[in-house]
Homo-oligomer: A and B are copies of this chain.
Amino acid sequence: MMKIGQIAQALGVKTDTLRFYEKNGLLRAAARSESGYRYYTEEDLKVAKFILRCKNVGFTLADIKELLSIRVDKSGFYCEDVKLRTTAKRIEVEQRIAELEKFRSSLLSLEQICCGGQESAQSCSILDALEAQ
């Protein structure tokens, strides 16, 4: 049984983060001491690692909450349920990338039309371009 500080250190997160996950229904300590201290088991640690790995591949905490509910009741779900969520998330990520690529190319165009020197910004092509109808 580990206290919150030990778990936090093992995971490289703050104790606040762990309490935040608890408040949001992602991770509950298996037990509490009489004085109210949280005590975590090895299984709790596994759940915490699962959460962090999900975050690392781009799932939000809301997504992770769903994945956790599948995780604890695997026999109640199909592979399909998991894969569909994975695919949906990938598509979401791809859409966001496309949006950012647009930003990137617009910004690059702006950079290319500007001298970037110590000339007065009075005739700055970037400002002109942002102004243009």
Contacts and interface: CB of A to CB of B under 8 A. Distances in A.
Interface of A: 46, 49-50, 53-54, 56-58, 67, 70-71, 74-84, 86-87, 89-90, 93-94, 96-97, 100-101, 103-104, 106-108, 110-111, 114-122, 124-127, 130-131, 133
A100 to B, nearest CB: 5
Contacts of A114: 79, 82-83, 86
Contacts of A76: 121
| Chain multiplicity (copies) | 2
A49 B131 CA distance: 7
9 contacts: A50-B130, A57-B110, A57-B130, A70-B127, A75-B120, A79-B114, A79-B125, A86-B110, A90-B107
A104 to B, nearest CB: 5
B79 A124 contact: yes
Given A50-B131, A83-B111, 18 more contacts: A53-B130, A57-B110, A57-B130, A58-B103, A71-B131, A74-B121, A75-B121, A79-B114, A79-B125, A80-B117, A82-B124, A83-B115, A86-B111, A86-B126, A89-B103, A90-B103, A90-B111, A97-B101
